[in-house]
Amino acid sequence: MEGFGREAISVDVGKRLRTLREERGISIRELARRSQLSANALSMIERGMTSPSVSTLNKLATAMEVPITAFFREDPEKARVVLMRGGERPRVPFLRGLFEGLGGEAYSGRMEPFLLTLESGGSSGPFGLTHTGHEFVFCLRGKLLYEVENERYVLEAGDSLLFAAHLKHRWSNHSGTVTSAIIVISSYDEDDHPGEYHFASIGDENDFPLEDATDL
């Protein structure tokens, strides 16, 4: 996909999912129950036959009580200073998009930065997102649609958006070109469960419908 560092480290999401699940002694059937996803879909993800959306990863992270960054790297050592070289970024591909970790998985503080790149038609998935703390978005190129509660915000290159992350939100690209943005999650509650404070999915695809955005 256009716009990614060639040397970035691709993450085998299916393998990581299986490892995280087995480390916790959770069967596929039990994980399906907890995440409200089908056992068949989970099996296909683990076997590398399909790529999960970001909202699906959110639901799986919540169900296994881990942060979404657990899919990026195995048990990273936490540090107060993290230097992330361009060729070291772990990345998680999903349908029409790519999520790249920018060091949050190794940082000891309460801040998680990501690089998001979306092809036309890409989105965070069918489920609304919510977590504690704040979410900051800076659009690097293209047009990125953010929906926060009932408001729609179209970000173009150079635009930014900051909001309280307990508000239900989602993002998508309905333009005809690739879009990329920096997303930073910060100041989430220290006592929160990781699965609750980081991209915790709620509801279903019908409770937060994406309005027609063909005019973007």
Tell me the pLDDT of the chain (216 aa) as tens digits: 544 444 445 678 899 899 999 999 999 999 999 999 999 999 999 998 888 887 788 789 889 988 777 777 666 678 999 998 988 888 877 888 888 889 887 888 888 899 999 999 999 887 788 877 899 999 999 999 999 998 999 999 999 999 998 899 999 999 999 999 999 988 765 554 333 333 333 333 434 444 444 445
Helix H or strand E encompassing 170: strand 169-172
pLDDT of residue 204: 39
> Rounded to whole angstroms, how far apart are CA atoms 201 and 168?
9
Ordered by start, the domain boundaries in the chain are 1-76+85-216
Question: Which pLDDT belongs to residue 109?
Answer: 83
The C-alpha atoms of residue 31 and residue 27 are separated, in whole angstroms, by: 6
Quote the pLDDT of residue 194. Answer: 31
pLDDT at 131: 77
Task: Please tell me the CATH code under which domain 1-76+85-216 is placed.
Answer: 2.60.120.10
pLDDT of residue 121: 94
Local structure of 152: helix, strand or coil? strand
Q: Based on C-alpha coordinates, what's the Rg of the chain?
A: 16
- Residue 189 pLDDT: 59
Report which DSSP code applies to 18. H
